[in-house]
Structure 1
């Protein structure tokens, strides 16, 4: 018997302190992105949907940002994970590389991903493309405007 519904998850990518005021890589538009992420996060929490935070931790010992144990590497307080929300550490731009993300999604029978993150042209792009290639239905919350686009 075929399921009548599919499971969805929200994937928040690198919404970390280094992208904000006085961070090591301050990003123009970071507060607007965080506001959209918070609104989307609240909607997913209200519906009790799966929420996954991808946190980048630098592997290069001379890294300028996302250094393990620093304030800048922490997830921004507006979207701080709550108990029961999955936090996955990543070390490359692609959230599926050596993170266990794919296995976690499959184990939880997730088929639909809504994705929002700080850098559309880097981390979001590689993770979104990989998700699509792996067969997930992807909905990307864009940084440049409030539109949500289906990929």
Structure 2
């Protein structure tokens, strides 16, 4: 169980995009992860915590090239364009040239709840940098995912990152244990 944080929290949703989530390689337990993210969006809204989504912009011709249908957030994600924040990035870290840290600071956010895709790239990079930038970081262990690779199953990648990042970089919590 988590002790209540004194920091104001925000939810950060990483790369939940059509071209990644609904692409040829399906994310591990994608539907469960999507449901957990939507539950966290609901929890954030109930607590008046801001919701930030970051979308990766790939190069022209890639499955997630800017402006394409595959680049958009998955329609099943319960985002509210009127109140939620949408940022675009070109690097694995959600903080690199996005203005995210400044927007979080301006909103008085000290605690970041991290979810999304892909575990070993953008989720990892963002989780590692969040604490260095002064944020209390929570990685929701059952609300991030990736695909199998030739070397490791997605499940092994996720379990490894939950274990490796916990403590040194983030606090890993389950969806049920996250409070905003």
TM-score bracket for the superposition, by shorter chain length: 0.7 to 0.9
Tell me by how many angstroms 1:24 deviates. Answer: 5.1
TM-score norm. by structure 2 comes to 0.72
How many angstroms apart in 2 are the aligned matches of 1:42 and 1:114?
A: 13
Matched residue pairs, number? 143
Contact kept, 8 Å, 2:60 with 2:66, in 1: the verdict is no
> Which runs of 5 or more residues in structure 2 are unaligned?
145-157, 173-180
Residues 80-122 of structure 1: CA deviation (Å, up to 9, x unaligned): 4211111011111110000000111111111001010121111
Tell me by how many angstroms 1:61 deviates. Answer: 2.1
Q: SS at 2:129's partner residue?
A: helix
How many angstroms apart in 1 are the aligned matches of 2:61 and 2:52?
A: 28
How many angstroms apart in 1 are the aligned matches of 2:67 and 2:21?
A: 17
Contact kept, 8 Å, 2:41 with 2:78, in 1: the verdict is no
How many angstroms apart in 2 are the aligned matches of 1:131 and 1:106?
A: 12
Tell me by how many angstroms 1:25 deviates. Answer: 4.8
Match of 1:114 in 2: 113
Contact kept, 8 Å, 1:20 with 1:31, in 2: the verdict is no
User: CA 1:16–1:50 in 2, change beyond 3 Å: closer, same or farther?
Assistant: same
Match of 1:94 in 2: 93
Contact kept, 8 Å, 2:55 with 2:87, in 1: the verdict is yes
Contact kept, 8 Å, 1:11 with 1:113, in 2: the verdict is yes
> Which runs of 5 or more residues in structure 1 are unaligned?
none
User: CA 1:46–1:20 in 2, change beyond 3 Å: closer, same or farther?
Assistant: same
Residues 22-69 of structure 1: CA deviation (Å, up to 9, x unaligned): x255323222211111111111112111110111111x2232x21122
